[in-house]
Chain A
Amino acid sequence: MPFAPEDDCFAIRQAARHVSQLYDRHLANVGLTITQFSIMGRIRRAGRLTMKQLADEMVLQRTSLVRAIQPLRRDGLVFTESLEPEQRALLLGLTKDGEERILAARQHWYAAQDEFEQRFGLARAAALRRELFALTQE
């Protein structure tokens, strides 16, 4: 019996934390968290992104985003450049090391995905994702 069996918010947050831990465990092989993997994937796709675009796209608070990006900058995976003349808007891009890291991270993402789906069921996971995306879009 879960501790708050009626609470929709608790149910989804707990499941998200649990599954994040699983993906984090695999991505730790390349020194990334799932949040960082997701951030880098988005930057890679867009080429360049501002902090605000990224925060909006990921429905993440700016502080959480800054916290996740700091180690990526420190390790030289993500670079920032300021947009003249608006110095405050920072553009984010992937360095060459960042490109290599995210390519190396992929197989670990697949391993995490496989571990989850083998336990939970492939079709069941697909049905759950559909419900979750429907929920977000409503």
Chain B
Amino acid sequence: MNRPISYDECNCFALRQAARHVTQIYERHLGQVGLTAAQFTILAKLARTPKLTMLDLADAMVMDRTTLVRAMKPLQRDGLVETESAEHDGRTFEFSLSKSGEKTFDQAAIAWRAAQDEFEEKFGRARAKALRSELFDITE
């Protein structure tokens, strides 16, 4: 128990460091349309399924509420995401993409493709696919 812990053996460190590295690649591309990786994921989720609550989004993205709120703020401020009260409950808010949010998402999807290509050309397409499958097994 008292031997020093090496970073090489920490699963969490390995994942977090790799996540930061990959995020930097994607954000270099997504930054051209003014989005972070978290914001891109939020827009992608809302593009597919409109009228989601904060809780729906937090669950779908395995994101804690504070991180989600922090990522959402600029999207709301810039009018990319619209808010309305849920029909069944006026205190619950549902989020959807606005027209300009849809437009930004279309542009962001092109930037995302470029980032994905850059990463997979370097790392290998089959290798990236195998890695994704391992990673999704952790969260499923």
Listed in ascending order, the chain A residues whose CB lies under 8 Å from chain B are: 2-23, 34, 38, 41, 59-60, 106-107, 109-110, 112-113, 116-117, 120, 124-125, 128-129, 131-133, 135-136, 138
B19 at the interface (CB under 8 A from A): yes
Do B22 and A12 touch across chains, with their CB atoms under 8 A apart? yes
Q: Which residues of A contact B112 (CB under 8 A)?
A: 7, 9
**B residues contacting the other copy or chain, number (CB 8 A):** 51
B45 touches A132 (CB 8 A): no
How near does chain A come to B49, taking the closest CB pair, in angstroms?
9
CB distance A13 to B19 under 8 Å? yes
Asked if B11 and A9 sit within 8 Å, CB to CB, the answer is no
**Candidates A4, A23, A34, A132; contact of B41 at CB < 8 Å:** A4
Contact of A113 among B11, B115, B122, B136 (CB under 8 A): B11
Within 8 A of A (CB), among B1-25: 1-2, 5, 8-25
Bound form: Cα–Cα A113–B6 in Å: 12
Evaluate contact between B132 and A11: CB separation under 8 angstroms: yes
Q: Given A129-B9, A136-B17, is A9 in contact with B140 using a C-beta cutoff of 8 Å? A: no
Residue of A nearest to B120 (CB): A8
Given contacts A12-B15, A129-B9, A138-B122, contact A18 B139 (CB under 8 A): yes
Which A residues are in CB contact (< 8 Å) with B139? 2, 14-15, 18
State the CA gap A138–B44 with chains docked (Å): 28
B15, B37, B112, B140 — most chain A CB neighbours (10 Å): B15
Q: Is the CB of B12 within 8 A of A14?
A: no
A14-B62, A41-B5 given; A136·B18 CB < 8 A = yes
Given contacts A8-B119, A131-B134, 20 further A-B contacts (CB under 8 A): A2-B139, A3-B60, A7-B41, A8-B22, A8-B128, A16-B16, A17-B62, A18-B138, A19-B11, A19-B12, A19-B15, A19-B138, A21-B62, A22-B12, A41-B5, A59-B17, A106-B5, A113-B10, A128-B11, A133-B18
- Contact partners of A59 in chain B: CB under 8 A: 17, 20-21, 24
Once bound together, how far apart are the Cα atoms of A116 and B12, in whole Å? 9
Q: When chains A and B are docked, how far (Å) is the Cα of A21 from the Cα of B58?
A: 13
* B118 shortest CB reach to chain A, Å: 10
Min CB distance B123 to A, Å, is 6
Closest 9 CB pairs of A and B: A16-B19, A132-B18, A15-B135, A16-B15, A132-B14, A129-B14, A11-B135, A11-B132, A9-B26
